[in-house]
Structure 1
Amino acid sequence: MTETTRPLGATVNGRWTRFAVRSQTAERIDLCLFHADGETELRRLPMGREEGDVFAMTLPDAPVGTRYGLRAHGVYDPDRGLWFDPAKLLVDPYALELDRPFRHDARLTQFGAETADLVPKALVTKVPKARVAPPRFSTDGLIYEVAVRPFTMLHPDVPDEQRGTVAALAHPSVIAHLKRIGVSAVELMPITAWIDERHLPPLGLTNGWGYNPVAFMALDPRLVPGGLTELRDTVATLHREGIGVILDLVFNHSGESDRQGATVSMRGLDNAVYYRHAEGQPGQLVNDTGCGNTIACDHPTVRSLILDTLRHFVSAAGIDGFRFDLGSILGRDAGGFRRDATLFSEMLADPLLKDCVLIAEPWDIGPGGYQLGHFPPPFLEWNDRARDDIRRLWRGDGWMIGSLAGALAGSSDIFAQHGGTQSRSVTFIAAHDGFTLRDLVSHSHKHNAANGEDNRDGHNENHSWNNGAEGASDDSGIVSARTRDVKALLATLFATRGAIMITAGDEFGRTQQGNNNAYCQDNPITWLDWASADEALIAQCAALGELRHRFDVFEGDSFFTGRGDVAWVRLDGKPMEVADWEGEGTDGLVMLLSTRDATTRKACRLAVVFNRAHAAEALTLPGKGWQSLLPDAGTLEEVSARSVGWYVAPGRS
């Protein structure tokens, strides 16, 4: 429930528009109305104070399309957590549309400097409700992570005016590609309005990913120039094709950054409420995010804003679910992370949200921030432990077969910690943050010089490897070896229990030239090069998607138990013994699954065969009647080097 019975933001009712904003600490808030040019301030009106710390005003002459902003008056004393400066034009936290993108400027950080010419103006918007349908993503589906702008900037079929926008996702060529590889839901990296980090403009760089938000509800005009209508229409088109839409939202920090950062919205309205501060030190911002500030997700005002944001995207655009960046922040209070946090309970009890797909990135950098396996069900969680185990196995680290089997079976060691009986894993091998799948097998170390931080940024331990001489990608043998490793990684991923995720372009070999922190590269480093897509890799991914849909053993999310559903054998067909799990005598494993084949509608056996060795290995599968489903991975007599074979036979094992 929100704190007031009347909505915040700009609400149109007939010929009247009500403007309302909450602040516990402001002395006065002015509503500023602007000319259609977005530059000329027409009127500045003091808003009346209502109960619940709400400042409000109702006007008869502020129709849809009216541009407005806010100015807050009060004490300016950052040491006391007070940042009031009426020279700063502020964006309404409940703004639904903005007339322009944010741009960073030093004046945004300077007390007394006028910023009306810099700050976007909110637009009065009347939002029609979209038809709310059940989520279109099941917990065993394939999530396709998309950075909207890089995804289609170089797509040859998308019209120039649509490239880099949400609307491009509805293009027939894009949809055909998504359906070909079996995508269940696209997960859109942030599309709400963000501002560049202040160190980027002097370097000639811009934030291309959007993980630095200012306005949680307002869509960024660079990505969604058609506003809510564009998002709603794109979602509807994807839904008609059986594809769900998940939004990646950032509620852990804002682009206002640390004490030297900008004042553009929440800081200027009620810094003491919206952000976490050190105990007894209201001027010291807590930095559990590494981004300079931390949103106070336990405060009722902030909880209301978050819940209202989620409801808005479900009701106004038909969104199916949400992924929460640095999600542990959402469960934090002064005592640390709580899996029974009020915000979680409110999300799960809300009639509009309770059936949505909810995905947590289950960590932050604060004390006790790593919370994999500890979110309340039905939250799904990014499973970085499975990611690292699978990477290390294929790199050749030690004996990792037990860890591989655990990941394939749904990571019960992680998700059964609180009595859970179902996997809540989102298993992935590469994501936006880190190496691409191709770069993972091509670089032993990151190459982030283009980011302007002397290669200090980005993860140092990526569990990556250089399959061939670094920088010699024109050698056909090296390219072939790297492609083989990517195919093996994809085949491993598609054999895991629960939800799986790939990042757009990894299915055709995209590269960022070894840059593992390319958030600031809004250029060909991150733009997907569709013209150079590896058709063989796409075909491999499509084949794996078909196999995952063909066999019902991959439906649902209950853990494999070993009681009739799965058996583990060696490459010679003999059952795995304790010594096999603990020793280092082989680089192979066979997962035998009891399932049904959708093509025959009969019970069958499915064998997934892993060989991480650099040579082909002899293979003996138990029983008869086996057929190879991925011929490139081997025959019935041997499994190819560095490969994962899939085989099917009639009957149950």
Structure 2
Amino acid sequence: MSRTLLPGRPYPLGATVSSKGTNFALFSEGATRVDVCLFDTQGNQTDCITLRERTAYVWHGLIRNIKPGQLYGYRVDGPWEPERGHRFNASKLLVDPYAKAISGQVDWKAPIFAYDVASGDDLKIDTQDSAAGVPRSVVIDGTFDWADDCPPETPLPDSVIYEVHVKGFSFRNPMIPENLRGTYAGLAHPSSINYFQKLGVTAVELLPIHHFIDEGHLVERGLTDYWGYNTLGYFAPMSRYSSTGDTGGQVNEFKQMVKAFHAAGIEVILDVVYNHTCEGNERGPTLCWKGVCNSTYYRLMDNNPRYYMDYTGTGNTLNVRNPQVLKMLMDSLRYWVTEMHVDGFRFDLAATLARELHDVSRLSSFFDTIHQDPTLADIKLIAEPWDVGEGGYQVGQFPVLWAEWNGKYRDTVRRFWKGDAGQLSDFGNRLTGSSDLYQFDGRKPYASINFVTAHDGFTLCDLVSYNEKHNEANGEDNKDGSDDNDSWNMGAEGPTDDPAINTLRERQTRNFLATLMLSQGVPMLNGGDEVARSQRGNNNCYCQDNELTWYDWDLDAPRKRLRDFTCQLIHLRLKHPNLHRRKFFQDREIRQSGKSILVQDIAWFNTDGNQVPDEVWNTEWTRSIGVLLNGQTLQVTDEEGHPVIDDSFFLVVNAAQEGVEFLLPPSPSGNKWCRVIDTEDIENPFAKAKTTRKIIVGGRSLMLFSDESLK
């Protein structure tokens, strides 16, 4: 079929529909020829058009009569010189790096490798056509009615984040129509939205939804890439989660999901993987960037560019130092904000993005570019502040405007409640916002994203049920996943009928959740922890798309109790600004509302009712302590300029095995303390009770008291 080709434009990159046709634009500095190949829905190539125009290394052309829904791919010719970092191979079909939708899956049995796999020589070119095994890019019509969309714009300190997998959450939910389960529409179904609202979370953080592929070694074992950290397209929503097909319908379905969440007052945060791609190292497949311009998109070894720098443990690292790669990432971020209306991003292995040369740099071009971009000025930026490279653990080291997954919070809280010695000082820091990590560079307590569990590792149920990981289902001889879990099974490995162990597990679970929601900073709840979701001891379920990871909505009495407990915790936190302060505690006497009265905003107490002396903080044996949070010292004003006053709280934590007698100090308001939480009370932990000064705090439990002062 003859196609009319016009010069078109070099920008925007990707496939852009207009009344004249579709403009195609692809950056490739080293290419000598670029073809756009068109396909029908049966996978047959119907045409191949050579782009004749090149502007600033962008190959471009406008092809008449190309409409939304058209499937296409690129073939890029150029030098095959792997030893110099060039891996061009025109026989390999390539996905558009700027594809807004992607159709189909990778066929690992097809010749998708640019080198001769039979010989194992990555320097020897393979000239077989790979089209049968490569997904297609899709031309889309991006128009959507956002007219009544109302992003919640919840301030970060007022946020409660729920980390969730699109498929896992809804796939077994009987309240959702079967054809919608496991999809964007299923996650946004009224029953799902209603659940999130009742739970009280203000944002969902979606595990990766950028289009990804299943790794070849998983396919061989009959497994899939469930988590999605294997990106093929930074602009395309994963088609696997679409109920409307994969030739463009996934884009509108994703937008409808975001709009539904916004209407319910809930934000959408994306977990994004800008540190590496699905193409692996020199022995990986050629699907996109490797064939478009390998030396541009990937960090290659300076002394031997045949090989890849690998700070991610996946085989490659994106070359964010290159202006074109940086542009691609920024274009992607802006696209998801402006066109898809998401509210923030969590950056996987973000320390990799900070590497200018080898060292991690807080002033890398990636951060500089984000900070000056007005489109990204008001969105939530959350870093996973580590990678697998040397010096890659960077908790507390990211720039202002960034929040961080606080891995130190996770480790300390686990160890404290397990009863490890010498945890008191660190526990105090984590409970009060980790000022030791964030206070001295201009950041606030909400720079700390607090979590006890996340998708990677044990669920909360498994954290209190297993001493060892049980990853046999992954087919890697239980060698994958972390061996350092700080978990404790309470006396039995896995499920048990022992009522004493089950009671202790239920109490410990409540202790973890209460600590999380009562800590300063921003809590992130691992999806399903509120209903005791178990992965049977598997702490690395990246490849388990089955009942190990799907939420079980058939709740027994203990799981219902835990869900209700979590709901009450979240609502208590959101109601009281004293529990999510915008400023760090002074930890000393301060002036109250500009008056000459000196009061403490926080104070720590021993069991005898006296304040904790300095020497106690570093003792090995102390596992019980009380902390007073003065609600009259928030040092913030409301929208009319009036000082914000809240209830004061007194929190008592006891990680010791036995109960302890505790003397409560006077409340700042002079009112009597009222108990509002007791994690030892299984049936009714939120039963309010007036109390005397002398109390008994049960073993491995916590109590929270409020003075219920008038505002």
| TM-score bucket (shorter structure) | over 0.9
* 2:494/2:537 contact within 8 Å kept: no
2:583 — aligned with what?
A: 558
1:143 — aligned with what?
A: 161
Which has the higher mean CA deviation after the structures are superposed, 541-550 or 107-116? Answer: 107-116
Which has the higher mean CA deviation after the structures are superposed, 576-585 or 188-197? Answer: 576-585
Percent of aligned pairs with the same amino acid: 38
Which has the higher mean CA deviation after the structures are superposed, 567-576 or 52-61? Answer: 567-576
Which has the higher mean CA deviation after the structures are superposed, 547-556 or 144-153? Answer: 547-556
What is the alpha-carbon distance in structure 2 between the residues aligned to residue 394 and residue 105 of structure 1?
50
Alpha carbons of structure 1 residues 626 and 380: separation in structure 2 relative to 1, 3 Å? same
SS at match of 1:313: helix
2:415 — aligned with what?
A: 392
Query: Could you tell me which of 676, 679, 696 is aligned with 1:638?
Result: 696
Give the letter for the 1:204 counterpart: G
What is the alpha-carbon distance in structure 1 between the residues aligned to residue 619 and residue 580 of structure 2?
32
Query: Could you tell me which of 433, 456, 481 is aligned with 2:456?
Result: 433
What is the alpha-carbon distance in structure 2 between the residues aligned to residue 602 and residue 420 of structure 1?
23
Is 2:280 aligned against 1:257? yes
- Following superposition, the deviation at residue 524 of structure 1 comes to 0.6
- Following superposition, the deviation at residue 258 of structure 1 comes to 1.5
How many equivalent pairs are there? 646
2:16 — aligned with what?
A: 11
- Following superposition, the deviation at residue 210 of structure 1 comes to 0.6
* 1:472/1:478 contact within 8 Å kept: no
What is the alpha-carbon distance in structure 1 between the residues aligned to residue 464 and residue 76 of structure 2?
53
**Alignment of structure 1 residues 391-410 onto 2, 5 Å:** 391-410=414-433
- Following superposition, the deviation at residue 472 of structure 1 comes to 4.3
What is the alpha-carbon distance in structure 1 between the residues aligned to residue 349 and residue 216 of structure 2?
21
Is 2:614 aligned against 1:578? yes
What is the alpha-carbon distance in structure 1 between the residues aligned to residue 109 and residue 664 of structure 2?
65
2:628 — aligned with what?
A: 592
1:543 — aligned with what?
A: 568
- Following superposition, the deviation at residue 133 of structure 1 comes to 5.8
Cα deviations by residue, 1:334-357 (Å, 9 ceiling, x for unpaired)? 242221112212212212111110
2:38 — aligned with what?
A: 33
Is 2:139 aligned against 1:155? no
2:102 — aligned with what?
A: 98
Alpha carbons of structure 1 residues 366 and 631: separation in structure 2 relative to 1, 3 Å? closer
1:124 — aligned with what?
A: 139
What is the alpha-carbon distance in structure 2 between the residues aligned to residue 284 and residue 22 of structure 1?
22
Query: Where does the alignment leave 5 or more consecutive residues of structure 2 unmatched?
Result: 1-8, 118-125, 244-248, 589-599, 639-643, 682-688
SS at match of 2:241: coil
What is the alpha-carbon distance in structure 2 between the residues aligned to residue 302 and residue 24 of structure 1?
12
* 2:578/2:647 contact within 8 Å kept: no
Cα deviations by residue, 1:472-499 (Å, 9 ceiling, x for unpaired)? 4233322221111111001111111111
SS at match of 1:199: helix
Alpha carbons of structure 1 residues 101 and 316: separation in structure 2 relative to 1, 3 Å? farther
2:261 — aligned with what?
A: 238
Query: Could you tell me which of 44, 64, 67 is aligned with 1:63?
Result: 67
**Alignment of structure 1 residues 124-273 onto 2, 5 Å:** 124-128=139-143, 130=146, 136-140=153-157, 141-225=159-243, 226-273=249-296
Give the letter for the 1:200 counterpart: L
Which has the higher mean CA deviation after the structures are superposed, 237-246 or 116-125? Answer: 116-125
Larger Rg: 2
- Following superposition, the deviation at residue 76 of structure 1 comes to 2.1
Which has the higher mean CA deviation after the structures are superposed, 379-388 or 616-625? Answer: 616-625
Cα deviations by residue, 1:505-554 (Å, 9 ceiling, x for unpaired)? 01110110111111000111111111136011111111111210121113
* 1:605/1:650 contact within 8 Å kept: yes
2:28 — aligned with what?
A: 23
**Alignment of structure 1 residues 351-390 onto 2, 5 Å:** 351-390=374-413
SS at match of 1:336: coil
* 2:152/2:266 contact within 8 Å kept: no
Query: Could you tell me which of 334, 338, 343 is aligned with 2:361?
Result: 338
What is the alpha-carbon distance in structure 1 between the residues aligned to residue 471 and residue 347 of structure 2?
26
Which has the higher mean CA deviation after the structures are superposed, 418-427 or 456-465? Answer: 418-427
- Following superposition, the deviation at residue 585 of structure 1 comes to 4.8
Give the letter for the 2:140 counterpart: T
Give the letter for the 1:619 counterpart: F
Give the letter for the 1:541 counterpart: T
Cα deviations by residue, 1:287-322 (Å, 9 ceiling, x for unpaired)? 100001001112111111111111111111210000
| Structure with larger RCO (C-alpha < 8 A, sep 6+) | 1
Query: Could you tell me which of 92, 101, 114 is aligned with 2:129?
Result: 114
Alpha carbons of structure 1 residues 139 and 275: separation in structure 2 relative to 1, 3 Å? same
* 1:103/1:195 contact within 8 Å kept: no
SS at match of 2:707: strand
1:295 — aligned with what?
A: 318
SS at match of 1:150: helix
* 2:350/2:383 contact within 8 Å kept: yes
- Following superposition, the deviation at residue 119 of structure 1 comes to 1.3
CA RMSD between the two structures = 2.0
Alpha carbons of structure 1 residues 351 and 5: separation in structure 2 relative to 1, 3 Å? farther
What is the alpha-carbon distance in structure 1 between the residues aligned to residue 486 and residue 440 of structure 2?
26
Give the letter for the 2:661 counterpart: A
Which has the higher mean CA deviation after the structures are superposed, 475-484 or 178-187? Answer: 475-484
Give the letter for the 2:132 counterpart: D
What is the alpha-carbon distance in structure 1 between the residues aligned to residue 135 and residue 612 of structure 2?
63
**Alignment of structure 1 residues 410-425 onto 2, 5 Å:** 410-425=433-448
Cα deviations by residue, 1:255-276 (Å, 9 ceiling, x for unpaired)? 1011211110000111101000
What is the alpha-carbon distance in structure 2 between the residues aligned to residue 364 and residue 137 of structure 1?
29
What is the alpha-carbon distance in structure 2 between the residues aligned to residue 625 and residue 267 of structure 1?
68
What is the alpha-carbon distance in structure 2 between the residues aligned to residue 101 and residue 234 of structure 1?
24
* 1:104/1:196 contact within 8 Å kept: no
**What is the TM-score of this pair, normalised by structure 2?**
0.88
SS at match of 1:470: coil
2:661 — aligned with what?
A: 618
SS at match of 2:318: coil
What is the alpha-carbon distance in structure 1 between the residues aligned to residue 680 and residue 489 of structure 2?
21
Give the letter for the 2:161 counterpart: I
SS at match of 2:510: helix
* 1:102/1:193 contact within 8 Å kept: no
What is the alpha-carbon distance in structure 2 between the residues aligned to residue 91 and residue 12 of structure 1?
18
Give the letter for the 1:354 counterpart: A
* 1:75/1:82 contact within 8 Å kept: yes
* 1:359/1:382 contact within 8 Å kept: yes
Which has the higher mean CA deviation after the structures are superposed, 520-529 or 555-564? Answer: 555-564
What is the alpha-carbon distance in structure 1 between the residues aligned to residue 444 and residue 21 of structure 2?
53
Which has the higher mean CA deviation after the structures are superposed, 503-512 or 643-652? Answer: 643-652
Is 2:482 aligned against 1:459? yes
- Following superposition, the deviation at residue 556 of structure 1 comes to 4.1
Give the letter for the 1:104 counterpart: W
2:531 — aligned with what?
A: 508
What is the alpha-carbon distance in structure 2 between the residues aligned to residue 249 and residue 522 of structure 1?
20
* 1:437/1:486 contact within 8 Å kept: yes
Alpha carbons of structure 1 residues 422 and 435: separation in structure 2 relative to 1, 3 Å? closer
Which has the higher mean CA deviation after the structures are superposed, 471-480 or 5-14? Answer: 471-480
Query: Where does the alignment leave 5 or more consecutive residues of structure 1 unmatched?
Result: none
Which has the higher mean CA deviation after the structures are superposed, 454-463 or 224-233? Answer: 224-233
Is 2:35 aligned against 1:54? no
Cα deviations by residue, 1:111-139 (Å, 9 ceiling, x for unpaired)? 22322122111111121264686663322
**What is the TM-score of this pair, normalised by structure 1?**
0.95
- Following superposition, the deviation at residue 429 of structure 1 comes to 0.5
Give the letter for the 1:520 counterpart: C
Alpha carbons of structure 1 residues 306 and 83: separation in structure 2 relative to 1, 3 Å? same
SS at match of 2:131: coil
